[in-house]
Amino acid sequence: MSFSSEHSPAHTACVEGKAFEHAFEQYWARLYHHALRKLNDQELAEDLVQECFIVLWNNCEILLKPDELGKYLYGVLRHKILDVFRKDQVRLRYADRFASLPKEFADSADKRIILSELQKVIDDELALMPARMVEIYRLKREQKLSTSEIAQMLGISEQTVKNQSYRAAERLKQCIIAYDSSLLILGISLLIRIRV
């Protein structure tokens, strides 16, 4: 990793005083495990923690305030994780919309193939999920029930519903991202043209 050689005197003092290295050693593992718990993706967790330390490097003056360093790094990581969740929600919304397109979209042969392939990817992943997770996913996504309605209907806590719904969405997102098909790309481009 290369960083610019032009820095403020405070930045130079932080680096020369090994403050950055000390912060890295002290917080890297903690931040990584926190990100891993939230994301369940080792590579993404490592990338986000790396980005946190790049932000710290560029704002090295915070190292002069050791009492605020932990809060600062966890705050940066929290924002990075939220950005990932926001991007994932957009992808999942596109996939959900695409999987439940109106009948007129599915009329042409190639559009039906695209819809069929994407639905198969989603169905295959749903078949691998625990029954309760699938049930919660379907109640949430297909029947549009609220978290509290699902919790009451199934006799479980709202947090369990949230956790299971998130895990199902995360698994579907991963399988859709991993699905590499020109038909899927074509389908998304067709969907975007229809929405415009």
Q: How far is CA 42 from CA 38, 80, 168, in A?
A: 11, 15, 19
Burial 131-159 (b: 16+ CB within 10 A, else e): eebbbbbebbbeeebebeebbeeeeeeee
Residue 186 has pLDDT above 60, yes or no: no
Indicate the domain borders of the chain: 9-85, 100-195
Hey, what CATH class is 100-195 in? mainly alpha
pLDDT band at residue 182 using 50, 70 and 90 as cut-offs: very low
| Packed helices 19-39 and 9-16: angle between N→C axes, nearest 10 degrees | 90
9-85, what's its fold?
Answer: Rna Polymerase Sigma Factor; Chain: A (1.10.1740)
Q: Per 3-state DSSP, what percentage of the chain is helix, strand, and coil (rounded to 5)? A: 85, 0, 15
| pLDDT for position 50 | 94
Count the residues in the chain: 196
Quick check: do 9-85 and 100-195 share a fold? no
pLDDT digits (tens, 9 = 90+) for 37-93: 888 889 989 999 999 999 988 888 888 888 889 999 999 999 888 888 777 776 666
pLDDT surpassing 80 at residue 26: yes
- For residue 191, pLDDT over 50 is answered with no
Please report, rounded to a whole number, the percentage of residues in the chain having pLDDT higher than 90. 20
Asked if 9 and 61 count as a contact pair (C-beta separation under 8 A), the reply is no
pTM: predicted TM-score of the whole model, two decimal places: 0.45
pLDDT band at 13 (very low <50, low <70, confident <90, very high): low
- Per the structure block, which two tokens stand in for 78? 């929290």
